[in-house]
Amino acid sequence: MEDKLINIAQGKQRHEMHASEAIFEQEMDKVFGRCWLFLTHESLIPNFGDYVVTRMGTDEVIVSRQRDGSIKAFLNTCRHRGAQLCPNEAGNARGFVCAYHGWAYGSNGDLQSVPFDEQLYDGLLDKCKNSLHEVAKIDSFYGFIYGCFDQDAPSLSDYLGDVKWYLEPYMDLSGGVELIGPPGRCLIAANWKTPSENFVGDAYHVGWTHSSALRSGGSIFSPLAGNSVLPPEGAGLQITSKHGSGLGVLWDAYAGVHDGELANELMAFGLAKEQRLIKEIGAERARIYRSHLNGTIFPNNSFLTCSGIFKAWQPRSANSTEVFSWVMVEKDMPSDLKEAFTKSVHRTFGVAGYWESDDNDNMESETYMAKGHQAKKKMLNSQMGISGDRIDPVLPGVVGKSAIGETSYRGYYRFYGDLMNSDSWAEVSAKGDNWQDQLIKATV
């Protein structure tokens, strides 16, 4: 599989991975069956009985707040004949009753009652053995809830690894963030990896793909329109981690894609908080807070911090992805600024956002062309900046040399290859023992 799909040493990947149903089926087992997957945010299920129905790979799951404040997740399938248990996207319930035969479960997943239990089962049905199938591991990263089917997976903290250092200033030390839901949802005719890889490290496309948006708006990125200029030297960098998560940093770009008076208000808000954070966490990490981060938590959870969009790319098939989109905003942002920010996020990266539409066209094209009999055999190139990947004395992870590069692409697919070529987490971990050297020694 590694020789066929992923060439770590040369920064290449085979196009077939964007359209093959056979590869997709392997991914559901080896990637989505093993990795930590985003479920919801604590702010969206604050009270006992609150729940959302979301997806982990191709499986629907119910994520439910428990009486003791903890969170559990279960497959959304009745244990009797496998019918869908909860048809709603979200709500509050003390339990769930199957519409097919009336089997009833508590919010903790326990089977509580079965119609005519004594008469039809002669009292032999063991309710304890017929509880809902529970997701093996649930954990939170500063309010962001993730789940994992594999009991042998590393902890969420270890899985996130080096990227935590970059996310903490914005997601925690700033006072915390929340997601505004319910999520916008739409289907795109694209493989789930195409948007995931784009968000993990593609600043290269911004000036070209989004040229019209940049020219019509007045965002901090507008000078890039039409590839008229490159970001100046030192404008940013890229980072990748052991488990494939990665991000790009554009320094001091707190207003993100937002424009007009809103951009000015955002810059003033971010600058004021940065001054406070300098005293609390130091100038370097305070600067990360006020900088724009584009990233993906491997495999399918992406974000733009200061642009305020948070996404999960939910796979439906090799050629279809359901996109979940939330607005991500700092908790202590003034209510009027938060409202204006939310509207701007929907206008730019919401379901019908003009930035989003630009990207979707490319994602679908990348997937469609991978179906070609000859095209699918060819290798794709992610070699930009390949000679500049390094270990930095201060910054965690493997760090690229500039704002525009493909360091994060290479790290994303290095880990993807490890998963696809391993039968257990022990094998995955062993393959990643020298992950930094694998990337730093890569060459064209």
What are the residue numbers of the active site?
A: 101, 202, 205, 210, 359
Instruction: Count the neighbouring beta carbons within 10 Å of the beta carbon of residue 372.
Output: 13
CA distance 379 to 191: 17
Phi, psi of 46 (to 5 degrees): -75, -25
**Residues whose CB falls within 8 Å of the CB of residue 100, separated by 6 or more in sequence, listed in order:** 78, 80, 81, 83
Q: Is the peptide bond before 195 cis (omega within 30 degrees of 0)?
A: no
Tokens representing 254 are 């707190």
Separation between Cα atoms, residue 379 and residue 387, nearest integer Å = 19
Task: Say how far apart CA 364 and CA 194 lie, in whole Å.
Answer: 8
Give me 175's structure tokens.
Answer: 């006072």
Residues making up the chain, counted from first to last: 444
CB neighbours of 82 closer than 8 A, spacing ≥ 6? none
For the chain, the distance separating the N- and C-terminal CA atoms, rounded to the nearest angstrom, is 21
For residue 394 the two structure tokens come to 């201060």
